[in-house]
Structure 1
Amino acid sequence: MRSFGKWLGRGLLALILAAVVIGLWKREEITRLLAVNSLFSEGKIVRNFSNMNAAFLSIPVPRGNSPTSALPYGPETSLPEDVDRWVKDRDVTALLVLKDGEIVFEDYFLGTGPEDRRISWSLAKSYLSALVGILLDEGQIASIDEPVIKYAPALKGGAYEGATLRQVLNMASGVVFDEDYLDQNSDINRMGRVLALGGEMDDFAAALTETFAKPGETWKYTSIDTHVVGMVVRGATGRSVTELLGEKVIAPLGLEYAPYYLTDGVGTAFVLGGLNMTTRDYARFGQMYLQGGTWEGKQIVPADWVAASTVPSAPVTEGRYDYGYQWWIPKSGQPGEYMARGIYGQYIYVDPARQVVIVTNAADRQFRDNGIDAQNIEMFRTIAKSL
């Protein structure tokens, strides 16, 4: 009996030592997984959204040697009275308003500041769209009507085999992908765990096999479509999205700080939502689009792509929004307005008629509640009208 106890004790000690060794070996992966599980918790969300590289793999986006392109300040403007209440209710962390290319309002909240590089979430999708337009103009991508498997052969035999680049830009791939952020077992959250544990996003996309409609037939917001756009960009050029975006978009804009992307385990940028930069630098991008793709006299994004990507082209039949090439277009309201839009209250709102760009960052845990998004858009319109 004593020998059995000694054997049992040694066995438990061996298991404990093994657990310690595995814990040390996988410490980074475990840390990232824990970060995913607490990313949106009430006490951590604001800090997390300004420090994503503290918990996830990341890579700098080169900003080049260009001098910073100053955003000029115009006359300081008082915004409508109800803006203060809206900022508080929606856990806004940054609000910046441009009128005629000048900053007329800028403020930061909840302990954040102008130097914070904030997570874009799906604002990043519109940046990738800009890059596609540039590559089309350069001839590196021949046409958006080409099949995605031409440039991303890893997708052969899977759900994306019949889809074209146009269809994935339009979120009309017909691929089954559950985007429920509140369901821990949804595809979007499984994808988040792949990212946290150092897996490969390309493998995740290639493993999808189910479709609910023929490509181009039905619109359904499917974030993994944007990753496939990134696969096409990489396959067409033989270069990373990080390098290309830095060279062709970021460097010409003269950003204040080098942005960074969250990445998977092999360094592939999380293009569907992993871009991080300051609020002012998001504003530079919005202003460049407002100006038809130009910045300080230089054409950055082809004007025809800016125009084509920000008008309705997707087969949307329901809801408050139409969709272009990774840009949202309200179905009613100010003619010509469009926006980049991300979860938890990230927006780049563009009103060409009034020459207004509004950028917000937020940590709004109620962002999915009924009517919240519509309230945000109405607030942007109220601000724009007041200027």
Structure 2
Amino acid sequence: MTDKHITDLALFTGKPQYENFSRFKEMLPVSRMAASSAPYQFADGQTIALPATYAFEGEERSSDTFLTETDTSAVLVLKDGAVRHELYRLTGGRDVQWISWSVAKSFVSALVGIAVAEGHIRGIGDPISDYISVEPGSAYDGVRIKDVLQMSSGARWNEDYTDTGSDVHRLAAAMAGVMPLDTFVATMVHEAEPGTICRYNSGDTQALGGLLVRATGRSLTDYMREKLVEPLGFESDAYWLIDGVGMEMAFAGLNVTARDFAKLGELYRNHGRWDGKQIVPETWVHASVRADAPAHQPGQPILADHPLDLGYGYQWWLPNGDRGEFSAIGIYNQLVYVDPSRGVTIVKLSANPAYGTSMDERTNREMENIAFLRAIAASFDIQ
């Protein structure tokens, strides 16, 4: 085990990170999920070129320039389950496990759905405090699991990456041994009525990680290895970042290859079925990628101090529009984007050096990434 911690990386300072993001398993404390005993390889389809340009904010922008400026390591495009484009740059590669950041949240959501189906969790109407230890009157005391899934727990939270005193930075510090992640969650502060405000909160996902561990009696690593890694045919080992007592960094710590990231998108595109078997309940998948209340509609979810033109489901982002798209999105521009109407799943893994140096679109380029991936998906309409 290494003595390095996530706080040593100088995140959100403009420092290039692509060398780090490709080798966390060598740099930081991790747990390992062995590759599937029956690795699944996507079929190869006719190779397409990426669109030379894409439209954003009223102008045509260069795709190649965008990939370069965001230090993109991988772009994987699937159409109807077949690989149509596979690009690796910098430290990316088919066998490289890349840090998910908040893409991990969507994996955690899938595991919660499985745990409900298996009876480990009675239902998402239960208070999460029936399963995890929290201080009386703290953020998660009596709060429904559903509200936590939808980032509507009412916990006080600041996800401002530019503020070193923000909650998200304190959560990262917990990973460095200041306190166990479970203690951090147990002592978070209540602020708003649950279910009324969708405020993006990495603490909510860490609480869900604790829920899975307590409800199943197994580590997140062990449970995911059996329920997702093995049946989906992960081709490569996967890794979770862990704290000093072995608890997984549920909100952001998953390290997976581009092809194995794509398997979650394909699983959800196919309504939770894989190779003829229902892995995640179909009803769970459908509920997960829909905004079922006003607070979760596009334009309402709040990141730090501003709303985003994205909706929110059960730990999945929902682009504005009528195509039924959904996406797992992580900091530094990690995305697993799905357009089920076109049969398209796209993985983009990046280390955008400007990310988090402000909380503005001009540096973080969240919506621009969606525009770029939409252009790739739409390119199939004219082939």
TM-score, length basis structure 1? 0.88
For the pair 1:60 / 2:60, whether they are aligned, the reply is: no
Deviations 1:47-89 (A, max 9, x none): 111111233211002444x221011110011121122222112
What amino acid does structure 2 have at the position aligned with 1:380? L
In structure 2, what is the equivalent of residue 385 of structure 1? 378
Instruction: Give 1:337 deviation, angstroms.
Output: 0.4
Instruction: Check the 8 A contact 1:264/1:270 in 2, yes or no.
Output: yes
In structure 1, what is the equivalent of residue 56 of structure 2? none
Instruction: Check the 8 A contact 1:175/1:213 in 2, yes or no.
Output: yes
Aligned in 2, Cα 1:28/1:76: closer, same or farther, shift over 3 Å? closer
Q: CA–CA distance in 1 between the matches of 2:156 and 2:360?
A: 24
Secondary structure (helix, strand or coil) at the match of 2:153 reads: coil
Aligned in 2, Cα 1:61/1:111: closer, same or farther, shift over 3 Å? closer
For the pair 1:237 / 2:208, whether they are aligned, the reply is: no
Instruction: Give 1:376 deviation, angstroms.
Output: 1.3
Instruction: Give 1:212 deviation, angstroms.
Output: 2.4
Structure 1 unmatched runs, 5+ = 1-26
What amino acid does structure 1 have at the position aligned with 2:27? A
Aligned in 2, Cα 1:284/1:33: closer, same or farther, shift over 3 Å? closer
Question: How many residues get paired?
Answer: 356
Instruction: Check the 8 A contact 2:134/2:185 in 1, yes or no.
Output: no
In structure 2, what is the equivalent of residue 215 of structure 1? 194
For the pair 1:374 / 2:354, whether they are aligned, the reply is: no
Higher relative strand content: 2
For the pair 1:323 / 2:312, whether they are aligned, the reply is: yes
In structure 2, what is the equivalent of residue 12 of structure 1? none
| Mean Cα deviation higher: 191-200 or 92-101 | 191-200
Deviations 1:78-122 (A, max 9, x none): 121122222112221110000010000001112432211000000
For the pair 1:355 / 2:343, whether they are aligned, the reply is: yes
Please show how residues 180-195 of structure 1 align to structure 2 within 5 Å. 180-195=160-175
Deviations 1:22-69 (A, max 9, x none): xxxxx954x326624x345655500111111233211002444x2210
Q: Taking every aligned residue pair, what percent have the same amino acid on both sides?
A: 39
Q: CA–CA distance in 1 between the matches of 2:172 and 2:228?
A: 27
Instruction: Check the 8 A contact 2:14/2:354 in 1, yes or no.
Output: no
In structure 2, what is the equivalent of residue 274 of structure 1? 253
Larger Rg: 1
In structure 1, what is the equivalent of residue 78 of structure 2? 98
In structure 1, what is the equivalent of residue 97 of structure 2? 117
Deviations 1:273-314 (A, max 9, x none): 000010111011111111111111111111111111011135
1:224 to 174, 197, 203: 203
Aligned in 2, Cα 1:229/1:33: closer, same or farther, shift over 3 Å? closer
Instruction: Give 1:380 deviation, angstroms.
Output: 1.0
Structure 2 unmatched runs, 5+ = 54-62, 301-306
Q: CA–CA distance in 1 between the matches of 2:164 and 2:308?
A: 25
Please show how residues 194-205 of structure 1 align to structure 2 within 5 Å. 194-197=174-177, 199-205=179-185
Instruction: Check the 8 A contact 1:39/1:48 in 2, yes or no.
Output: no
What amino acid does structure 2 have at the position aligned with 1:347? L
Please show how residues 287-366 of structure 1 align to structure 2 within 5 Å. 287-313=266-292, 315-316=295-296, 317=300, 318-332=307-321, 334-366=322-354
Q: CA–CA distance in 1 between the matches of 2:122 and 2:135?
A: 19
Instruction: Give 1:197 deviation, angstroms.
Output: 2.8
Instruction: Check the 8 A contact 2:16/2:353 in 1, yes or no.
Output: no
In structure 2, what is the equivalent of residue 15 of structure 1? none
Secondary structure (helix, strand or coil) at the match of 1:382 reads: helix
In structure 2, what is the equivalent of residue 9 of structure 1? none
Deviations 1:313-333 (A, max 9, x none): 35233531111000011123x
In structure 2, what is the equivalent of residue 254 of structure 1? 233
Please show how residues 26-45 of structure 1 align to structure 2 within 5 Å. 29=3, 31-32=4-5, 35-36=8-9, 38-39=10-11, 42=14, 44-45=16-17
Instruction: Check the 8 A contact 1:170/1:313 in 2, yes or no.
Output: no
2:115 to 116, 135, 144: 135
Aligned in 2, Cα 1:50/1:40: closer, same or farther, shift over 3 Å? farther
Q: CA–CA distance in 1 between the matches of 2:372 and 2:248?
A: 33
What amino acid does structure 2 have at the position aligned with 1:370? E
Q: RMSD of the TM alignment (CA)?
A: 1.8
In structure 1, what is the equivalent of residue 46 of structure 2? 75
Higher relative helix content: 1
What amino acid does structure 1 have at the position aligned with 2:324? G
Instruction: Check the 8 A contact 1:71/1:284 in 2, yes or no.
Output: no
